[in-house]
Each structure stands twice: as C-alpha cells, then as structure tokens.
Amino acid sequence: MTISQLARSIAESPTFALNEEARILREKGEPVINLGIGEPKNKAPITAILSSAAKLSGGDIKYTPPDGTPSLKKAILRYTEENYDKLAAPENVIVSAGAKQSLFNILFTILNPQDEVIILAPYWVSYPEMVKMVYGIPVIVTPEDGSFHPRMEDIERATSSYTKAIIVNSPNNPSGELFRDEFLAQVVDFCERRKIYLIMDDIYHKLVFDGRKATPAYQFTNKDLESSMIIVVNGVSKLYGMTGFRIGWVVAPRKLAQVMYNVQAQTTSCPSVVLQAAAEGALTGMQSMVENLRLTFENNRNVTIQELRSFSGVKVSKPGGTFYCLPDFRAYCPSSVAKDSAELSRFLLKKALVVTVPGNEFGMEGHLRLSFAGSVKDIITAVERIKWALDPNSPNEIYIGDRKLVRDWL
C-alpha cells in the first residue's frame, strides 16, 4: 500500500485521539473527566433546531450554491455589520463545513509550495498541519519573554520574502489570552504594508471576560474590504455551542473569495443545506444564549483559576476569553512521573482518570491545556485528582468514583 509522503507527515489530531481514549474508558464504566476537548455542553439554540427541522420536513434537500445559501449569507452580512461594524457584500462571504474547512480553503487559495505562514505559539494544533497539507511551511513564532502574548518584533524577525500570511487567534486556543489592541494595530499595519494576509481566526471572539471586548482587526485599517489584507474566519461552533452542525465562514476580499468559491465547488460542492438552515436560525434568533454561554465560561474560568492557584507547583495565567487555560506544569515534567507533557498527560489519564492535552501539541512543552467548558463540579474534582496524583503535599488517599485509591509513587 502506498501512501503519499505528505499525507504520512500529517499528525493525528491529538484532541480527537484523547477524546476517543476517554470514550473507551468511560464505556468500560471508568469515571473519566474530560478536560481535553473544547466543546460547550449546551443544547443547540431552539431557533437552529426549528429552522433545520423545517428544512428537513420540507423534504427539499438539494445542493446549494457552493458559497452558501443567499439567506444564510445575508444573516452573516448582518452579523458582520453588527459585530465588526463592517459592511460586506454577498461576494465577500464563503460558507464552509466549519471554520476548519474555511481555514484550509484560505490556505489552499493563497499559498504556493514553500510559501511561509507565521503561526504564533501557543497555537491551535491544526494550523501547522493545514499549512503543510498545501505544501506550505509553518513558521512558529514563540514569545521570547515566556508569556502567551505575541510580540511584533518577533514576528518581524520571522518574516521573509516567502511569508504569505500570519494567523492570529484572539482570544486564543489554547492559552485563553486576549491580545492587546496595540499589538493588533501593529500587526494590521505590518500586514497592510508588507502585503501579507492577516488571517483572523475569530471563532472565540464573543467569549471574552472581565468586561473586555475582542476588537475587530478592521478597526485598525483605513483600507476598504477589497484592498485590505484582512481575512476574517468565524462560525457557529463556539458562538452557539453548535460544534456538530459544522458551519463556518470567511469574510474576505472578493478576488480571494471568488477563488475560494471555485476551490469549494470542486471539493465539497457546498455545505449541507440542512445545517446552513440551522446556522441561519441561530444567527437570526435570540442572541441571549451567547451571553449565557459567555457568563458560564467566565464563572468556570474563575473556578478553574482559583483551584489551580491553590496548587503550589502550577503556574497559571488568567485567560481573557475562550474556555481553555494552559497552566505551566514544568514543576512536574520532567520529573519522576513524566519526562514531558505528553507523558504527564498520559500519566494523569491513567492514574487520575482526567483527560488533558499536552502542551507540546500547541508549541508549549511543559504545559497542559485544560478545557473549562464542562461543569464546575467536574473542574473541581479534576483539579483535586490532578493534585492528588502530582503534589506530595496533598492527601495521599482519594476517592475516584467509588474506589478509594492510595498514591504510592511520590
């Protein structure tokens, strides 16, 4: 069996792999707590359900235009106007099967082989793999000051004549960091001057805490949509907790959107009409659930940080948004229980039945990503279990489910 070199080089998605491991353990009756996957627990908005159900019961389930139904695009244009203060035209919008596909289509559309894309660490695991899939080269920029906030001088140093794009994700998966406006202003200016695409992955842009806001990148340029280098990606997955509906979109200059239209027409034809109807229902329905989700995550963030800060070996910076944090576990890896974050994550799953994602997957060795999208009870119990497994100062007995366990490895 021959498999292409390129396909072979693509890493397995660690979050899906961990999720599968957790599912198998849970099926065996193990009381696993999953802090791995990033998925809100809410039910889909009723307007999304009704609108897709109406489409289904009408029975007219056919292809749509490759870039999405006119009515969903209209709802996206309204969303863009209301949330980005930007008037876009239907020709600027391409709807895809999730923001993931949107990002892939953008990269496929703008990169020649060997072109470079700047990715800011810590980064979402899929960016480097997607860049590689279209024969591009991911260039990882890590803040030299050890923080999670990128610095313009590091980006400038990493830029070459091959740099085609910079991907910015704020608030950020995996750190939860909300980037400062002055940084965004600098990066927008830099991209406009150097003719480098600025891909804004805004999938978490409404999930921001402490009364702050994610300022739209458009605000930092005088250029109109057609001449700007800004491309915005968004979707319903995190906004409404509709991960399974698989609808995302891009707002981009028309010239780029036209090519993305062709790319999508030749690969998937179009996203499902039923799921587009659901996204339209969510976008045009009551928006209070977005705020409810945001408030839940802000409360969960507070609990998570409080619990982690009572853990002497762990350092954690407070996320400004999303439902993730990326605490520093370097006091425990390398250590006698784990040589690195991947081993530590495996150790915690085995001993404490808690799923975490190792920081090396996000370009931050020594850290673990914890999702606080679940319940407060899960968060408190999971941190207590992690503490038991790692901290010699914590009590050495614990109940996991109905089993009493004794720590005998520290």
| C-beta nearest to ligand PMP: residue | 98
C-alpha 252/C-alpha 240 separation (Å) is: 23
Answer yes or no: are the C-beta atoms of 332 and 400 closer than 8 Å.
Answer: no
Identity of residue 268: T
- Quote the least distance from Cβ 19 to ligand PMP, whole Å: 12
Answer yes or no: are the C-beta atoms of 208 and 321 closer than 8 Å.
Answer: yes
C-alpha 109/C-alpha 112 separation (Å) is: 9
Which is nearer to ligand PMP, 170 or 341 (by Cβ)?
170
The H-or-E segment that residue 284 falls in is helix 273-284
Which is nearer to ligand PMP, 335 or 360 (by Cβ)?
360
- Quote the least distance from Cβ 394 to ligand PMP, whole Å: 32
C-alpha 57/C-alpha 325 separation (Å) is: 42
Which is nearer to ligand PMP, 66 or 381 (by Cβ)?
66
- Quote the least distance from Cβ 324 to ligand PMP, whole Å: 8
Angstrom distances, CA of residue 213 to CA of 45, 270, 295, 374: 23, 33, 14, 23
Burial zone of 258 (CB within 10 Å; 0-12 exposed, 13-18 middle, 19+ buried): middle
- Quote the least distance from Cβ 378 to ligand PMP, whole Å: 19
Which is nearer to ligand PMP, 221 or 237 (by Cβ)?
237
- Quote the least distance from Cβ 250 to ligand PMP, whole Å: 11
- Quote the least distance from Cβ 98 to ligand PMP, whole Å: 3
Which is nearer to ligand PMP, 207 or 333 (by Cβ)?
207
Which region, left, alpha or beta, applies to residue 158 given φ > 0 means left and ψ of -120 to 50 means alpha? alpha
- Quote the least distance from Cβ 37 to ligand PMP, whole Å: 8
- Quote the least distance from Cβ 100 to ligand PMP, whole Å: 3
Q: Is the dihedral of CA 383, 207, 150, 76 positive or negative?
A: positive
Picking from 367, 165, 144, the residue whose alpha carbon sits closest to that of residue 252 is 165
- Quote the least distance from Cβ 60 to ligand PMP, whole Å: 26
C-alpha 203/C-alpha 26 separation (Å) is: 29
Positions that interact with ligand PMP (CB under 6 A): 38, 98-100, 124, 169, 173, 201, 203, 235, 237, 243, 248
C-alpha 275/C-alpha 191 separation (Å) is: 34
- Quote the least distance from Cβ 77 to ligand PMP, whole Å: 19
Helix axes 14-27, 341-352, angle to 10 degrees: 10
C-alpha 378/C-alpha 383 separation (Å) is: 8
Identity of residue 137: I
207: tokens are: 């999930």
Q: Tell me how far apart the 2 most distant CA atoms of the chain are, in Å.
A: 64
Which is nearer to ligand PMP, 110 or 333 (by Cβ)?
110
Which is nearer to ligand PMP, 238 or 351 (by Cβ)?
238
Which is nearer to ligand PMP, 271 or 285 (by Cβ)?
271
Answer yes or no: are the C-beta atoms of 201 and 233 closer than 8 Å.
Answer: yes
Which is nearer to ligand PMP, 55 or 100 (by Cβ)?
100
Which is nearer to ligand PMP, 76 or 400 (by Cβ)?
76
C-alpha 38/C-alpha 398 separation (Å) is: 27
